[in-house]
Amino acid sequence: MLHRSSFVLALLVASCAPRPPSSVAAIDPAAIARHVEILAADAYGGRAPGTPGEDQTVAYIVTAMDRAGLRPGNGASWFQEVPLVEVQPSVAAVLTVEGRGGAAALEWGEDIVIGNSRAVDGAHIDRSDMVFAGYGLTVAEAGWDDFAGLDLAGKTVVMLGGVPHALKEAATAASSAAKIAAAASRGAAAAIILLPSAVTDEQWDAQVAAARRRDLRLDGASDGPVIEARLRFEAGERLFAASGHDLATLTAAAGRTGFRPMALGSRASVRLDGLIRRFASKNVIGLLPGARRADEYVLFLAHWDHLGRCAPDGPDPICNGAVDNASGIGGLLELARAFAAGERPERSILFLATTAEESGLIGGQYFVDHPVVPLAQIAGGLGNDTIAAGTAADVVVLGQGLSPQMDSLIASAARAQKRRVVVDAAFDGFFMRSDHYPFARAGVPVLIATSIFAPGSKAATEAYFAQAYHKPADEFVPELSFDAAAADIDLAYRVGLRLANSRAWPAWKPGSEYAVARARER
């Protein structure tokens, strides 16, 4: 159970704040709360894909959509099957390094966490040549290429985490996942990210806990290396010493303009024998057909999945995911009810509840790659994620400035609510962390408008991320206020209604990568 922590205290304080205005569509915060209480119950087991909790969750969503008055959104079916493969981690694995400086054995959990990236049976590397690719970044406008001249085919690439000072704001693909993907695209068999020395024991323990969970991948995906790993800094010193190099010297060189990647003169070996299970998970799709232009769509989406039994050794083994993202699904279902109860809009409204978002935006990406309606016919939309963490009347737009027309629709809806759209660039990175993002990359203007990152939500949001996010503490509690969440859903309703009754086709800002994709689609 959730103890009386700073998370609950922040929620209690926030519940005394001014309440956002009521909805023109009578969005009911209590209705959202009822959905969350049910979906985040222990009986649903944390809503992990491929478990009985998935069956219960998708059945609940279908029932709610059906009762609201929606129709199945994939022909005669409410579902889109998403083929997944589950990999149980090989926690006994040891990565060995042999080089001019001797040998090093890096133990899983103590020194390194290692994953079977391609989800193949018996993934391994055997005396794979090792190379050092600096920070693993390519920034053409800065004349920076950490992979220049390297032949990575079948090799093990070691990269530093983070961004060198010399690049500052120029690097946009600095996440570990992006670096690993970049190495894999060049043929690397294994990719290792060396974590910074500033990573604390608690942060490392969190990495290990995350790596111990089952890993879900899209079945058949082969765009990653065979092996991917995160290496603790102290263990990295041993790896480089075994290779005959000094880590500090190479780190300094990698941070300077003109650095060139290099062979380390050492070889790496590891075998992963994790268990593999293949199954089909489900996106849930509901449709409210348009009254006049049924072949044009406005999209709303939220992910239904969470982490399941995430702490099997603890007193509470279930990550219930009340805020993340039962609240988003509760909001989606209340939004569906409001649209179906009103006058039928001219365009169709598509309601999408995605699977496996927590495993890398898989459900959203699968829909984009296998759309049940043409992407070019989706005028725009909004995503709903973790909405019950907010307590403020103000709104932050994730993706602000990328689509002027969507910005205008959101700002107009906020003014009608007597709310403000505030800008906080500190949260821009969250734009890429939810299931709306694959749609954006495909050119569909889908943003997130949320109160959770507004200044007035700071105490509750920070407490949530510190105390409950991806932990068993993310449970439904009576103290959880859904007033700001309801206001966010009301804003989504206003934006969607106006867009659905218009002939507008929102565009991305000219010159952006999203605009290029939109031009291809349309």
Helix axes 458-467, 6-14, angle to 10 degrees: 160
Please identify which residue in the block is written with the tokens 């111990």: 212
User: 6: exposed, middle or buried (C-beta count within 10 Å: 0-12, 13-18, 19+)?
Assistant: middle
| CA 493 – CA 413 distance, rounded (Å) | 9
Strands 156-160 and 124-132: parallel
For the chain, give the number of residues. Answer: 522
CA-to-CA separations, 403 to 119, 398, 407, 409, in angstroms, rounded: 37, 11, 6, 10
Tell me which amino acid residue 515 is: A
Neighbours of 23 (CB within 10 A): 19
Tell me which amino acid residue 510 is: P
CA-to-CA separations, 175 to 133, 434, 446, in angstroms, rounded: 15, 15, 22
Strands 94-99 and 102-107: antiparallel
**pLDDT at residue 25, as a whole number:** 59
Is-contact 345 495, C-beta < 8 A? Answer: no
DSSP 3-state percent helix, strand, coil across the chain (nearest 5): 35, 25, 40
Helix (H, G, I), strand (E, B) or coil at 156: strand
pLDDT tens, the chain, 522 aa long: 334 344 554 554 444 444 444 444 589 999 999 999 999 999 999 999 999 999 999 999 999 999 999 999 999 999 999 999 998 878 888 999 999 999 999 999 999 999 877 766 668 899 999 999 999 998 887 889 999 988 899 999 999 998 888 886 555 557 788 888 889 999 999 999 999 998 889 889 888 887 887 788 888 776 668 889 999 999 999 999 999 999 999 999 999 988 999 999 999 999 987 778 899 999 999 999 999 999 999 999 999 999 999 877 778 999 999 999 999 999 999 999 999 999 999 999 999 999 999 998 999 999 999 999 999 999 999 999 999 998 999 999 999 999 999 999 999 999 999 999 998 877 777 888 899 999 999 999 999 999 999 999 999 999 999 899 999 999 999 888 999 999 999 999 999 999 999 999 999 998 877 876 665 555
CA 148, 150, 154, 156 torsion-angle sign: negative
| CA 409 – CA 493 distance, rounded (Å) | 11
Helix (H, G, I), strand (E, B) or coil at 479: coil
**Distance, C-alpha 169 to centroid of its chain:** 22
- For residue 169, give the DSSP letter: G
Phi (first) and psi of residue 166, to 5 degrees: -60, -25
Torsion of CA 441, 61, 280, 77, to 10 degrees: -90
Helix axes 52-68, 327-341, angle to 10 degrees: 20
- For residue 325, give the DSSP letter: I
Q: Choose among 262, 353, 300, 444: nearest CA to 57.
A: 353
332 CB contacts (<8 Å, ≥6 apart)?
300, 301, 302, 351, 353, 384
Domains in the chain, CATH or no CATH each: 6-86+277-521 (3.40.630.10), 94-271 (3.50.30)
CA-to-CA separations, 78 to 59, 75, 153, 274, 296, in angstroms, rounded: 10, 8, 43, 33, 19
Tell me which amino acid residue 309 is: R
DSSP readout, 455-469? GGGHHHHHHHHHHTT
Strands 94-99 and 262-271: antiparallel
Rg of the chain, C-alpha, whole Å: 24
**Distance, C-alpha 143 to centroid of its chain:** 30
| CA 84 – CA 82 distance, rounded (Å) | 6
Angle, alpha carbons 519-384-435 (nearest 5°): 50
Is-contact 158 190, C-beta < 8 A? Answer: no
